[in-house]
Amino acid sequence: MLTKLSIIIPIYNSEKYLPRCLESICQQIKQNVEVIVINDASTDTSIKICKKYVNKFNFIKLINLKKNRGVSYCRNIGIKYSLGDYICFVDSDDKLLKRSINNILNHIKNYYDKELFILRNFALRSKKITEKKTNENSTLNLTLNEKNKSIINSTNCWNFTVKRKFLRSNNICFKYNRVTEDWLFVTEMLCLAKNIKIIEKPTHVHRSFEPNTLAKKAGYIIVISRIKIIYGIGKIINQKKIFLNKQKIKFLLRVLKISTEQMFSNIVMCKSKEIKKASKYLYKYSSLILKLSNLGFKELDFLLRKDKNINESLLKFKSEKIKIIKNIITRFGKNNIILFCAGEYGKAALKFFINLDVKINFIIDNNPMYSEKKMDNTVIKNSFYLKNDLKKFSNHKIFICNKKIVEFNKIKLQLSKIGINYKNIFHFNI
């Protein structure tokens, strides 16, 4: 019987959530579907769990790696050995909603000419499941002419079902980037795909419980990752025949802008020798990155001009940003400081303050599943913790770690409603 869909699941030390993930998938499969699990040399009981399900279900393939190779390698291996007409990805700590596989198969049957399907997902941030909606103001979006719908606000590969033949004919694979490894994979798919269809009914439940994942690393690792993403986008455009309409250009510019912002934010956390290494990467890729000016991406033009010393410019940028924060610290002191937001930017801010010997009392985040967990040994609380002991924190300074001014204002309003004085709320924006 022909395999219509291959579900690829990379696994590394996933014993806590893996049974629930596999169960949510296996209970839906009747025919035409294979599940490929790639165990990336887990050191917990993940391999035992995988073997249990392999023995129980004949549609599961197990690839057991003896050496840890990373999620990009695992997904590429999954693609290589897949037999399905279409491929989708599931993270081992996520799960599929009931009847979602049948929903995907029906779309494959009815729209077989489509190269790419966009999947919706729910975000599991508490005991409740909330829908992750897409709108025109999303961080990343690509708009189709059909009903002018925004189809994506994420560059996560599990938000897509893609035709295997399309991947192979265009030689699309995951690049070996240590973080956000699927950004280029998704960007390349979206730029090359001509026939795209949205599957409106959500299929995935995405777990957002852990504040210390690779996606929330900070410093040099992020800087190099973002430089490689910017260069990778330039390489895709330069090497492949891509028709870039206004919508695709808009999408690319969003990815490039976010990558650049995160690169500069994390430069401030880098040591001098790390900045020197980053400068060499930028110099090496400069000619191709500068070609992106034709798209309207000019954020790095000032840095990569021939008369500029990239290393000196980055060191100067870091020095100026540190001076700004030091002035605030001099004014208010190094104690009684709270950070708001445990995301990637919050991680960068935490590292920034630690490097300046500033004591962060704790971090506040609106994700209730982060509560009482730690990020770099700093405990995370929810906003009720402030409200319940407001007098104790009345003189604390709160730095909101979100670059978007709209989100900053929302959080500032939230804090003021629980009684925090406006004069004690600051925007951490570097």
17 and 150 part of one domain? yes
Of 302, 129, 271, 286, the closest CA to residue 203 belongs to: 129
Domain membership flag for residue 91: yes
Residues 128 and 253 in one domain: no
Q: Which two tokens stand for residue 279?
A: 């400068």
Please tell me the pTM assigned to this model: 0.82
Quick one: pLDDT at residue 178? 67
Determine the pLDDT at residue 214. Answer: 38
Question: Is 76 within the bounds of a domain?
Answer: yes
In terms of domains, do 127 and 43 share one?
yes
> What is the spatial distance between Cα 361 and Cα 423, in angstroms, rounded to a whole number?
19
What pLDDT, on the 0 to 100 scale, is given for residue 389?
86
As a whole number of angstroms, the distance between CA 352 and CA 347 comes to 9
Both 202 and 235 in a single domain?
A: no
Q: How confident is the model at residue 359 (pLDDT cuts 50, 70, 90)?
A: confident
DSSP 128-140: SEEEE---TTSSS
Residue 319 belongs to some domain of the structure: no
Integer angstrom CA distances of residue 85 from 1, 117, 264: 12, 13, 41
Residues 181 and 152 grouped into a single domain: yes
* Average of per-residue pLDDT across 185-213: 81
Residue 196: strand pairing partners: 116
pLDDT grade for 328, boundaries at 50, 70 and 90: confident
Domain contains 181:
yes
State the Cα–Cα distance between residues 2 and 85, nearest whole angstrom.
9
pLDDT-based confidence at residue 218 (cuts at 50, 70, 90): confident
Determine, yes or no, domain membership for 323: no
Residues 282 and 410 in one domain: no
Residues 194 and 253 in one domain: no
**If we measure between CA atoms, which residue out of 95, 94, 63 comes closest to residue 76?**
63
Under the banding of pLDDT at 50, 70 and 90, the label for residue 413 is very high
Indicate the pLDDT class of residue 264, thresholds 50, 70 and 90: very high
pLDDT band with cut points at 50, 70 and 90 for residue 127: very low
- Select from 208, 233, 249 the last residue of a domain: 208
pLDDT tens track for 136-193: 233 334 444 444 444 455 678 999 999 999 999 999 999 887 677 789 999 999 989 9
Residue 307 binned pLDDT confidence (cut-offs 50, 70, 90): confident
* 325 domain-assigned: no
Q: Is 85 exposed, middle or buried (0-12, 13-18, 19+ CB in 10 A)?
A: middle
How does DSSP classify residue 421? Answer: -
Does 173 share its domain with 94? yes
324: in domain: no
Most trustworthy range by pLDDT among 194-198, 218-222, 321-325: 194-198
- Cα R_g (the chain), whole angstroms: 23
Note whether 260 and 395 are same-domain residues. no
State the residue range of the domain holding 238: 220-314
Give the mean pLDDT of the chain: 86
- Tokens representing 386 are 């402030």
Give the percent of the chain with pLDDT over 90. Answer: 54
Q: Name which residue leads in pLDDT, 370 or 263.
A: 263
182 plus 129 within the same structural domain: yes
Q: For residues 208-224, b (16+ Cβ closer than 10 Å) or e, as one string?
A: bbebeeeebbbbbbbbb
Is the pLDDT at 315 greater than 60? The verdict is: yes
pLDDT tens digits, residue range 47-102? 999 999 999 999 999 999 999 999 999 999 999 999 999 999 999 989 999 999 99
Residue in the structure block whose two tokens are 């090496």: 284
The pLDDT value given to residue 150: 45
**Where does a domain end: 208, 231, 253?**
208
| CATH number, position 12 | 3.90.550.10
For 364-409, how does the pLDDT look when each residue is reduced to its tens digit (9 = 90+)? 998 887 888 888 889 999 888 988 888 888 889 999 988 888 999 9
- The residue with greater pLDDT, 149 or 11, is 11
Q: Is residue 278 part of a domain?
A: yes
At 346, which CATH number?
Answer: 3.40.50.720
Average pLDDT over residues 355-369: 87
Residues 224 and 308 in one domain: yes
The three-class DSSP label of residue 48 is helix
pLDDT at 129 over 50: no
The count of structural domains within the chain is 3
For the cut 60, the answer to whether the pLDDT of residue 117 exceeds it is: yes
Do residues 239 and 387 both lie within one domain? no
